Amino acid sequence: MARQIIFTAILLLTLGIFTYTALRIIAFFRLTKSAFPIKNFGRRFALMLNVAFGQTKIFRRPVIGFFHALVFWGFCVILFGSIEMVIDGLTGTDKALKILGLVYDIIMASGDIFALLVAVSIVIFLFRRLFLHIKRFEGIEMKHSNHVDAIIALTMILMLMLSLLGMNSAYFALKTRIAESLFGVYPISSRLSTIYNGSSIKFTETLYEVCWWTHIVLIFIFANILPYSKHFHVFLSVPNVFLSRLDPLGKLPNMEHVMREVKLMLNPDTAFSAQASDTPAERFGVKDIEDVTWKNYFDALSCTQCGRCTSVCPANITGKKLSPRKIIMDVRARMKEKGPGLIKNGKEYTDSKSLIRDYVSEEELWACTTCNACAQECPININHPTLIVDMRRYLVMEEGLAPGEIKAVFSNIENNGAPWQYSPEDRLLWAKDLEMNVH
């Protein structure tokens, strides 16, 4: 009974902290603007199975992608055992889901195998982080705290897997020695259990309890650390893929309030209507965090900081300042900085900073070619160019700022109706002396 009381107290504390964090994040989402409507659920579900669960984009780097996929699939399988541990902790039972019979045996065997595979994968990841110079893990946006964050999370995952193997092997050894019924199949832990052959039953029983508590408490701690870590994608990557933009990557969304004004101007009957005059003025594009959409912020929370986007960016490869990963990370950092002030003081609050310039420079924004290589490569379908273009829209439409070459294009469109410097009457002069066969 004391075990149940202690477990319940720890669980309630965990849920309380997690609820506080969740409500804080929800409050930040309320500061953002609406995005595209969520529909086409069948297509979204298929995309989620393919990209999130199938890990298809991860496999573009086949070797390291394979190990990452093992970690993801391992978490999916081991989650079942974690749910069982919560039930056991609350009710005082042992192996509460054993009633599933053969299905239980398959899941326990899979979890036991994946515990070893995940542990090996994490050791490889830690080795790469600590001893290999992986270029895409570096960058102006990747501070020392980001690397420490990654190492702490990987270490905790490794400890989770080792405690799980320790728990399973001790359970197998204990039940075998006292001739009690053994529930589940443990192909890895059954072999590891031989290390307990010289140990007393009391020691094996104690070790099982230590590993059980270590594993479940680590899960609770990990769950509350994740929202403040880059590993928040453990929770958010799957829903972020489900909520992906379904438009082709090269298609940029129109600004709805601009489209509305254009339609009103094209229709004389509504040009001076109440709809035209009463609609409040909206900011063009994105200047600061309150101008981004909820999907932009969801992307920022989901970002794995893997650097695949930046590693394929042609602007970054050729030495320009642009890093698509930095743009997304800046959104999360800016919301963390300004969000509490906006919640406390309302949307008129200002701290004399903005996302543009204080976080993202004009040089970075105009370096983007909108080739969409970053969005194509992102393993969780973050769309960087739409956010970059929205920040450009603010610069052009609110401040009238753009590189000289682009301003020349704007002037030509205004004066000549086309991006070229020639008047409409002169556009076909290039064909004046050409002989053409007309059929």
pLDDT digits (tens, 9 = 90+) for 218-235: 999 999 999 999 889 989
| pLDDT value at 256 more than 70 | yes
Place of tokens 């290589």: 373
| pLDDT value at 391 more than 80 | yes
Lowest mean pLDDT: which of 150-154, 240-244, 265-269? 265-269
- Band (pLDDT 50/70/90 cuts) for residue 180 is confident
| pLDDT value at 217 more than 60 | yes
Please name which of 213, 207, 173, 209 lies closest in space to residue 190, comparing C-alpha atoms: 173
How much is the average pLDDT of 337-342? Answer: 96
171/183 Cα distance (integer angstroms) = 10
362/49 Cα distance (integer angstroms) = 38
| pLDDT value at 273 more than 60 | no
Which tokens hold the place of 292?
Answer: 């981004």
| pLDDT value at 430 more than 90 | no
| pLDDT value at 171 more than 90 | yes
DSSP symbol at 54: S
**Which pLDDT value is given to residue 254?**
87
How much helix, strand and coil, in percent to the nearest 5, is found in the chain?
A: 70, 0, 30
How much is the average pLDDT of 123-152? Answer: 92
How much is the average pLDDT of 65-88? Answer: 94
**Which pLDDT value is given to residue 257?**
78
Positive or negative: CA dihedral 364, 145, 217, 129:
positive
Whole-structure pTM value: 0.89
How much is the average pLDDT of 171-196? Answer: 90
- Band (pLDDT 50/70/90 cuts) for residue 274 is low
| pLDDT value at 68 more than 60 | yes
Task: Determine what percent of the chain is predicted with pLDDT higher than 90.
Answer: 73
Strand partners, 33: 293
58/44 Cα distance (integer angstroms) = 19
- Taking CA atoms, 347 is separated from 31, 290, 292, 335, 394, in Å, by 8, 8, 13, 13, 18
| pLDDT value at 138 more than 80 | yes
Cβ atoms 289, 339 nearer than 8 A = yes
- Band (pLDDT 50/70/90 cuts) for residue 270 is low
| pLDDT value at 279 more than 80 | no
**Which pLDDT value is given to residue 417?**
84
Contacts of 112 (CB under 8 A, 6+ apart): 165, 168, 185, 186, 187, 188, 189
| pLDDT value at 277 more than 80 | no
Cβ atoms 380, 233 nearer than 8 A = yes
Contacts of 125 (CB under 8 A, 6+ apart): 67, 154
**Which pLDDT value is given to residue 419?**
87
**Which pLDDT value is given to residue 367?**
96
Q: Does 391 or 439 have the greater pLDDT score?
A: 391
**Which pLDDT value is given to residue 333?**
96
**Which pLDDT value is given to residue 308?**
94
